Amino acid sequence: MRPWIGIIALLCSAGAWAAPKIAVTDLAYEARVEEYIHAVAASHNFQASPYNASGASSYAEFESRNSYIEQSELRKFSGDIKGEILKSRQFQLVQGTPYTSEAKGDVYDVIKRIKAGHFKGADYVLFGTLSDIDFTQDINALDRTNSYSAVLGLAVVADFSLINTRTYEITSAFTAMGEGQDTKLVSSRDVRVSLSRPRVVKEVSKTLGEDVARRLQEQLGGGYQEPGQPALRNNLPRDEAPKILH
């Protein structure tokens, strides 16, 4: 009987400490799209008789400029964010419903998306929005040499909020950044060099995921509270009474 009591107590203890479930969104963004349309329409009036034929042509040009805001999600960088979060072994991941261009709602209205059931089974949603993305490409002379370094760089900055799906409370909020670059040495500034864009994107994704996991641990003290519970205190040791050194 005692072994069974021990097993049941162990199972209850494991259930009490079950990691909360979290859904990670792709990075939401909006961009202004400019459209320019230039069309030429031609018409031809033809008159014919038994003795002669004549005709007249006319042309009309149309120009149109249109500007609108497009909302979507950037799906290049969420994979490493999920991977780094899984490494912490502090919670389980739940796959949410991605935002599509056919969706009529606002990509930034994450509360509405939660209420609509886009993150079923999740205790929390890590909602990320793209703040800035910058590609740079340059060739720099190396001191005391006849060589040059060709550099392709990318930096991505994103804002994140960890939202409780039951209370809609923001448990954590921070800005994270990912950086990466590919560098090659060349003998002349005019040499055509091929730099690896996929390698740069991969490095940015990895460093962004690491920064997100680090920020979460800093703000949550290395753990996550159950939904509806008070915010966790940090894990700093308690102050000790002063000691006199002899």
pLDDT, position 88: 81
Does some domain include residue 164? Answer: yes
What rounded mean pLDDT belongs to the chain?
75
Cβ proximity of 55 and 44 under 8 Å: yes
pLDDT tens column, 52-64? 555 555 656 655 5
Does some domain include residue 40? Answer: no
pLDDT, position 238: 41
Identify the domain containing residue 124 by its residue range: 19-30+62-220
Does some domain include residue 13? Answer: no
* Global pTM value: 0.67
Cβ proximity of 168 and 111 under 8 Å: yes
pLDDT, position 190: 64
Does some domain include residue 243? Answer: no
Over range 93-120, report the average pLDDT.
Answer: 86
Q: What percent of the chain has pLDDT over 90?
A: 32
Q: Is the pLDDT of residue 135 over 80?
A: yes
How many structural domains comprise the chain? 1
Does some domain include residue 42? Answer: no
Residues near 146 by Cβ (< 8 Å), separated by ≥ 6? Answer: 187
| DSSP classification of residue 155 | E
Structure tokens at 4: 């069974």
Does some domain include residue 237? Answer: no
Does some domain include residue 83? Answer: yes
The pLDDT-based confidence of 193 (bands split at 50, 70, 90) is confident
Report which residue type is found at 231: A
Does some domain include residue 10? Answer: no
d(CA 110, CA 103): 13
- CATH no. for residue 168? 3.30.160
